[in-house]
Amino acid sequence: MTKKLFVRFSTAQDEQKIFDYYTENQHEFVAKREPEIWKERIASGAVTLIEDEQGKIVASTICYPVISMTDKGEDIHKWTEIGSVRVTLDGVGLFKPLLAASVMRSALLEPPEDRFAIEIVIGNAHSKHVFMKEGATPWRIPEELRLMVEDTLSADDTTGAVDWFQLGIEAMPHFAKTLLDLEASPKLTDKKTGEVYELDFSKCVLTNIFHKELEKASTLHLGDTKKPDMSQGIKSARDKFAP
């Protein structure tokens, strides 16, 4: 019998549930964050969740805005870090819908001026592989970004040295198309057991409210992910499909 998996974004009511998920599923490659940052991100809807029919979280990731300052002393949302990626239902292929939903929500509702940043612990070959497969490329980040991200980590975090990657405007059509394709063909099969799951987007605001924007974004050509244009930012690209 096909089991449903629901894709949605967090609300303030999910706070304890999300804290429990990360506490019960700690991983050496997933950095610990300051609790107050998590509380704000959860309430803002910036946690992308995939849950089973009983409401149990089986995959989660969190978008962290990195705020810079202009020459005039004004705050600016310069980058967004895609972090806290955790998939506990293995073998089904949940990383792809998880990342696509997270990126497109952020691009539509909280777009960074520049681009998405991903820090991957050195030695985490699998994460590097799956992120690069989805269009991420290595990035020599600005020192300002590194310092700001370090400020979000818990004092007892021990994940160690990281490599940095980026996702820019070039990847937005791919993620929009990924969501539309998964909505049209939502069945996923566990490679080991043959068990079939069906993604359900009925609780996802992207497919419910921003369907036209996803369709438009999926048709755009914004460049080659392998040759990112570092002069172009996410926020300006967003205006091309969600004015």
> What is the four-CA torsion angle of 16, 46, 51, 209, rounded to 10 degrees?
130
Fold of 3-238: Aminopeptidase (3.40.630)
16: left (phi over 0), alpha (psi -120 to 50) or beta: alpha
The residue whose two tokens read 């999910």 is 14
Position with higher pLDDT, 22 vs 70: 22
Task: State pLDDT tens for residues 105-155.
Answer: 999 999 999 999 999 999 899 999 999 999 999 999 888 888 887 777 766
State the CB neighbour count (10 A cutoff) for residue 160: 12
Say if CB 207 and CB 171 are below 8 A apart: no
Q: What is the pTM of this model?
A: 0.93
Q: What pLDDT was estimated at residue 157?
A: 64
Q: What pLDDT was estimated at residue 32?
A: 84
Say if CB 73 and CB 137 are below 8 A apart: no
If 0-12 CB within 10 Å is exposed, 13-18 middle and 19+ buried, where does residue 36 land? exposed
158 pLDDT tier (thresholds 50, 70, 90): low
Task: State pLDDT tens for residues 67-116.
Answer: 887 777 788 999 999 999 999 999 999 999 999 999 999 999 999 999 99
Side chain identity at residue 177, one-letter code: K
Burial 58-70 (b: 16+ CB within 10 A, else e): bbbbbbbbbebee
C-alpha separations of 162 from 120, 123, 133, 154, 232 in Å: 5, 9, 19, 16, 25
Q: How many CA atoms lie within 13 A of 4 on its CB side?
A: 11
Position with higher pLDDT, 182 vs 156: 182
Taking 70 as the threshold, does the pLDDT of residue 243 lie above it?
yes
Position with higher pLDDT, 212 vs 1: 212
Q: How many CA atoms lie within 13 A of 121 on its CB side?
A: 15
Task: State pLDDT tens for residues 178-227.
Answer: 999 999 999 999 988 999 999 999 999 999 999 999 999 999 999 999 99
